[in-house]
Amino acid sequence: MLSLLLPVMELLSAVWGNVKGILLSIKTFSFFYWLKTFKAQKISPQSRIGAGDSTKVVPTSVNYHFTRQCNYKCGFCFHTAKTSFVLPLEEAKKGLTMLKAAGMEKINFSGGEPFLQERGHFVGKLVQFCKQDLQLPSISIVSNGSMITEKWFKLYGEYLDILAVSCDSFDEEVNKSIGRGQGKKNHVENLLKIRKWCRDYNVAFKINSVINCYNVNEDMNKEITMLNPIRWKVFQCLIIDGENSGEEALRQAETFVITDNEFTSFLDRHRNVKCLVPESNKQMRDSYLILDEYMRFLDCRNGRKDPSKSILDVGVENAIKFSGFDEKMFFKRGGKYVWSKADLRLEW
């Protein structure tokens, strides 16, 4: 009897060994599959909402042009004072909270001139809200710099990551020809003052320049190197129908336009400036998520700004479908960079 049982037990033990091996293989395979999926989700959380839906764009980085009013008269301006509307503060905060819930990480406040509204307190309160309440990693402002005071930095500087000031020339006469200026204010002197305040109050300093027919031959190497911004954004003057071109537009910028070759030669002249980030017309057009004063996304794909419905009326997900946003171009032009001052080494 025993001699009969022994071979049966050996057979059963061999089968069990194989089953264990198969189970172990399944377990190992499942783990690696899970790890691979998890890693894929972690690498690009900002690019899509939810697995399997490739059409939903997350508003990772948003530009909120909350006002169209400005004290300057730049001839090429492509966000002109077509309305004087500004959302009440609480409504604006509500919209920003919705954007945060939809995945926003960076907000840029722009205009018009953001410091015109309530002498800078409106934008200051939004900046404070976005950092303290929404805890956004990056908050920036683009301004012409003419209305910023040291008092503003004392009140709100700690909540701001980056301040970008527009400067197209270091020759005051050129700035005047462009329309960058108001009365006796000296644009370049102002820029130097703001540069110092950014250093004193630990805000990263950035410069934006629009290259047009008046400054295309200028050599800015010395001044930009001296100012040492974290980024120098260099834009090619852009035509937007209804803003700076066409019958209903408040500006006619055709005479400011430069060719692609002229833009390239400007970039070439400044190739040794490490912080230079160029943006041609093509890169600019569809790679920004732009919200206007009513919190409507603006679609620039057809060379004009076609608005969606307001996110306050239809929600972020519905409005963003009409934004014309080209996410690939956003990443290609370096739209995602180190944008929180906590991660920047601010060495002055």
* Residues catalogued as catalytic: 70, 74, 77
Q: Between 72 and 232, name the residue whose CB sits nearer to ligand SF4.
A: 72
Q: Count CA within 13 A, CB hemisphere, residue 129.
A: 18
Q: Between 195 and 251, name the residue whose CB sits nearer to ligand SF4.
A: 251
Taking CB under 6 A as the rule, does residue 113 contact ligand SF4?
yes
Measured from the CB of residue 269, what is the shortest distance to ligand SF4 in angstroms?
23
Taking CB under 6 A as the rule, does residue 77 contact ligand SF4?
yes
Taking CB under 6 A as the rule, does residue 239 contact ligand SF4?
no
Q: Between 131 and 285, name the residue whose CB sits nearer to ligand SF4.
A: 285
Q: Between 213 and 314, name the residue whose CB sits nearer to ligand SF4.
A: 213
Instruction: List the alpha helices (DSSP H) in the chain.
Output: 2-43, 89-101, 121-132, 150-156, 172-178, 187-200, 221-227, 260-269, 281-286, 311-314, 316-320, 327-332
Taking CB under 6 A as the rule, does residue 70 contact ligand SF4?
yes
Taking CB under 6 A as the rule, does residue 145 contact ligand SF4?
no
CB 205 within 8 A of CB 198: yes
CB 65 within 8 A of CB 290: yes
DSSP state, 348? -
Q: Which stretch binds ligand SF4 (CB under 6 A): 29-37, 44-52, 72-80, 226-234?
A: 72-80
Taking CB under 6 A as the rule, does residue 72 contact ligand SF4?
yes
Strand order in the sheet with 138-143: 276-279, 231-236, 204-211, 162-166, 138-143, 106-110, 61-65, 289-291, 296-299, 306-310
Taking CB under 6 A as the rule, does residue 229 contact ligand SF4?
no
Residue 258, both tokens: 């430069």
3-state secondary structure of 294: coil
Q: Which stretch binds ligand SF4 (CB under 6 A): 25-33, 107-115, 292-300, 338-346?
A: 107-115
Taking CB under 6 A as the rule, does residue 144 contact ligand SF4?
yes
Measured from the CB of residue 157, what is the shortest distance to ligand SF4 in angstroms?
21
Q: How far apart are CA 76 and CA 63, in angstroms?
A: 19
CB 344 within 8 A of CB 203: no
Q: How far apart are CA 34 and CA 40, in angstroms?
A: 10
Q: By rule CB under 6 A, what string of x and - marks binding of each residue 159-198 to ligand SF4? A: -------x--------------------------------
Q: Which stretch binds ligand SF4 (CB under 6 A): 111-119, 129-137, 189-197, 303-311?
A: 111-119
Q: Which stretch binds ligand SF4 (CB under 6 A): 48-56, 70-78, 100-108, 229-237?
A: 70-78
Residue 298: CB atoms within 10 Å: 23
Task: Please name the residues in contact with 256: beta carbons below 8 A apart, sequence gap of 6 or more.
Answer: 75, 76, 178, 212, 213, 214, 237
**Count of residues binding ligand SF4 (CB under 6 A)?**
11
Q: How far apart are CA 266 and CA 144, in angstroms?
A: 22
Measured from the CB of residue 250, what is the shortest distance to ligand SF4 in angstroms?
10
Name the residues that contact ligand SF4, by CB under 6 A: 70, 72-74, 77, 79, 111-113, 144, 166
